[in-house]
Amino acid sequence: MKIKLMSIEDYDCVHQLWENTEGMGMRSLDDSFEGIDKFLKRNPTTNFVAQAENKIIGVILCGHDGRRGYIYHAAVSTDYRGRGIGRALVNAVVDALKKEEINKVALVVFSLNNLGNKFWQALGFNKRNDLVYRNLSINENNI
């Protein structure tokens, strides 16, 4: 297994992995080829894929605003889970954020995504009970 920076050339395989991962919240514009290309250009050092047998088996997106990192769309193929791949991807992100002098990283997990919540808790990501997550869709085409 190899961890490498994600490039836009990985998009088709990554998108297919996301589509086959339960609990993934995909958006039509944000997660399109163009949306991910824009994200990778803005965050060129903090997005990674895991490869084995010449195929992508895991992915993690992460960006930052200069102050705090945000993790999005972490996924590992069901055939490869339980082998430390998710942890390795998270470690790659944390190391990249440290190099960018970012001191904190956050993420959102659907409350009913038990597998995802268990994974993040096992890695030391604390559940915050003092926050209310809110969002506003400003483009009606981003479904």
What mean pLDDT do residues 125-138 have?
92
Q: What is the 3-state secondary structure (H, E, C) of 70-133?
A: EEEEEEECHHHCCCCHHHHHHHHHHHHHHHCCCCCEEECCCCCCHHHHHHHHHCCCCCCCCCCC
Residue 7's CB: how many other CB atoms inside 10 A? 13
At residue 62 the predicted structure's pLDDT band, cuts being 50, 70 and 90, is very high
pLDDT tens digit string along 7-22? 999 999 999 999 999 8
Report residue 70 CA to chain centroid gap. 8
The pTM assigned to this predicted structure is 0.94
Spatial contact of 58 and 89, defined as CB atoms under 8 Å apart = yes
Q: Is the pLDDT of residue 99 over 90?
A: yes
Provide the pLDDT for residue 25. Answer: 87
CA angle 28, 75, 137 (to 5 degrees): 30
> What domains can you pick out in the chain, each with its CATH number?
2-122 (3.40.630.30)
At residue 58 the predicted structure's pLDDT band, cuts being 50, 70 and 90, is very high
At residue 142 the predicted structure's pLDDT band, cuts being 50, 70 and 90, is confident
% the chain with pLDDT above 70 = 100
